[in-house]
Chain A
């Protein structure tokens, strides 16, 4: 399910629209994930506070979203562009790649909450494809 030229244009245009709120989107998506899918908390067992708005969730949500925004600029070669992040997730963090889909879903929900008019079905399919391609690139080094 590769990204077409149109998909890339749609994602870039939409990301331009959301850029001022990107950090907040990342923070909220992570916060949602920890509440709606509590099993994901195991990866953050060392955090004192998983709630939306906590220092840990804020910092990490921002980190993740910045990497995703960075990947928007690497859509022509996600596997190459995400190579070192893939190494990190595969060998150090060892996050089960099933969780990438879970976080992606929560990003989509957060986008729908904050950009109801702009997050049309056409934007939804392009962003979903982008996040799926990103997740695959992130899982590339797992085995």
Chain B
């Protein structure tokens, strides 16, 4: 089981409680599709992903970014049991969506950059470490069913 320090718990709860999921979801997913264009392979039916402006303005990207963030929220609310919380999502991503699990880290990195931009100096190295540890646990749980 993952051990969280008080600082890590508080930091994660604090970041997500203040977050606008709609904005951060849209920004993170759009950034992922722009910075790592091969991730567009999973969104063939999303219409115009032709360039950065199109991706940023695409309503399906925005809607899906929100879905992803709300999925992340489940881990925030169950920090002591992320593995079990994500069992179904793991199966979904591996069996149905066939997402290369390396892509989880790419989206995680984009989310980190978006949150860093939002928090500015408040995103200290220690806060970054806690946030990235949380994402690493989430990603590891999502990867579980791929074995």
Contact = CB atoms under 8 A, between A and B. Distances in A.
Given A116-B118, A116-B120, A31 B34 contact: no
A122 B109 CA distance: 15
B112 A113 contact: no
Interface in B75-121: 109, 112-114, 116-121
Given A109-B112, A109-B113, A121-B31, A31 B125 contact: yes
A16 B47 CA distance: 36
Interface residues of B, number: 23
Nearest to A116: B117
Interface in A95-143: 105, 108-109, 112-114, 116, 119-122, 124-125, 128
Contact of A122 (B34, B114, B121): B34
Contacts of B120: 113-114, 116
Contact of A125 (B34, B112, B132): B34
Interface string B46-68: 00000010011000000000000
Contacts of B121: 113
How would you classify the secondary structure of chain A's contact residues: helix, strand, loop or mixed?
A: helix
B128 interface: yes
A67 interface: no
A124 B34 contact: yes
Contacts of B35: 121, 124-125, 128
A113 B123 contact: yes
A32 B125 contact: yes
- Name, among A35, A105, A113, A116, the residue most crowded by chain B CB atoms within 10 Å (CB to CB): A113
A32 B117 contact: no
A121 B52 contact: yes
A93 interface: no
A51 B111 CA distance: 25
Contacts of A112: 113-114, 116-117
Given A109-B112, A109-B116, A116-B117, A35 B34 contact: no
Contact of B56 (A52, A113, A121): A121
A36 interface: yes
4 smallest beta-carbon distances between A and B, as pairs: A116-B117, A35-B125, A112-B116, A121-B34
10 contacts: A35-B129, A105-B109, A113-B119, A113-B123, A119-B113, A119-B117, A120-B52, A121-B56, A124-B113, A125-B35
